[in-house]
Amino acid sequence: MKIISSISELRETLAPLRKQGKKIGLVPTMGALHEGHASLIDHSSAECDVTVVSVFLNPIQFGKNEDLDKYPRRLQADAKLAEEHGGTFVFAPSVSEMYPNGDPLTLIRDESLEGLYCGSYRPGHFRGVLTVVAKLFLISCADVAFFGEKDYQQVFLIEQMVRDLNFPIKIVRVPIVREPSGLARSSRNEYLTAEEKNLALGISRGLLAAKSAFDAGERNVDNIRNIVKQSIASNGGTVQYVEVASQATLAALDGSATIGEKVVILVAAFFGTTRLIDNIEL
């Protein structure tokens, strides 16, 4: 496994491979890799000849009071996991390499969607995400990029950006990877105590209960939302939001509405001081 830290070296390394007709896959991460990331790398190595795993803790997507400083950093372990799952290169640039002049003045944003759901509680977050992802697309010139569906709003915005700006790259969504208990894999699960981790199952259990109700014929938006909210609250969690949104547009359905299209339940909740997100498609 070769770890590359400069933009110029990555480009010089990938250029001859591209000329040989090699298909290049990109797996963007912030490090602290776990089984969810491993699944992304597995998908890339199965579809592509070369897999670049980027490990970059992007400061411009974190707010002032968020967990940038305590976010896990373990590059060597990340590189080992990437190699075990078929990764070819790890791209691990410094902040100064990615943003040599400080925070960039040119930012990519989606004015209609970036302020919804997670964006309404994390101002500027998705501008930071879209900007760094666009940079990684341009730096790597990858043919395919792989993103996990746990970050549902994020991958939706990235797909929209690719269409709007005509990036010549294919986006592949990879299903959520869960712990045996049902908890969605996340680097932030490390912040949970053993008790909080058990209580946090209220999210996935609530989502499954809502899906069961939907499959049994329930179509009222508020009723679906309340099933999830009650599951979280009864396990000691604090709901930040539970929304039922259109899969096609990501617009939230009114609480009194009757579900008549493909939707996704989007959730953010706190257990202790740890914020977790999850979702399920109906």
The model's pLDDT over 145-159, given as tens digits with 9 standing for 90+, comes to 999 999 999 999 999
Give the pLDDT confidence of 186-220 residue by residue, as tens digits.
999 999 999 999 999 999 999 999 999 999 999 99
Distances from the Cα of 102 to the Cαs of 34, 58, 95, 117, in angstroms? Answer: 30, 12, 9, 28
Domain ranges across the chain: 2-174, 187-281
Our separate counts of H helices and E strands in the chain read: 10, 9
In angstroms, rounded to a whole number, what is the distance separating the alpha carbons of residues 163 and 165? 6
Q: Which of 19-33, 62-76, 154-168 has the lowest mean pLDDT?
A: 62-76
What's the pLDDT at 270? 98
Q: Which of 37, 43, 85, 125 is catalytic?
A: 37
In angstroms, rounded to a whole number, what is the distance separating the alpha carbons of residues 13 and 89? 10
What's the pLDDT at 1? 85
Residue 34 among the catalytic residues: no
Please say whether the beta carbons of 168 and 262 come within 8 A.
no
Q: Which residue has the tokens 């929209």?
A: 160
Helix (H) or strand (E) holding 181: none
What's the pLDDT at 65? 74
pLDDT for residue 276 is more than 80: yes
Q: Which residue has the tokens 């250029």?
A: 15
Which of the 8 DSSP states describes residue 189? Answer: G
pLDDT for residue 24 is more than 90: yes
Please say whether the beta carbons of 191 and 274 come within 8 A.
yes
Share of the chain above pLDDT 70, in %: 100
Q: Tell me which CATH homologous superfamily contains domain 187-281.
A: Pantoate-beta-alanine ligase, C-terminal domain (3.30.1300.10)
Please say whether the beta carbons of 49 and 24 come within 8 A.
yes
Which of the 8 DSSP states describes residue 187? Answer: G
Q: Which two tokens stand for residue 158?
A: 């990235």
pTM for the predicted model, two decimal places: 0.95
What's the pLDDT at 68? 86
Do 2-174 and 187-281 share a fold?
Answer: no
pLDDT for residue 31 is more than 80: yes
Across the chain, mean pLDDT equals 96
Q: Write the CB contacts of 2 (distance below 8 Å, at least 6 apart in sequence).
A: 13, 88, 89, 90
Per CATH, the number for 2-174 is: 3.40.50.620
Q: What are the start-end ranges of the E strands in 189-273?
A: 238-246, 263-271
Which of 65 and 52 is assigned the larger pLDDT?
52
- Tell me the pairing of strands 263-271 and 274-281: antiparallel
Distances from the Cα of 240 to the Cαs of 205, 225, 229, 268, in angstroms? Answer: 17, 12, 10, 5
Band of the pLDDT at 67, cuts 50, 70, 90?
confident
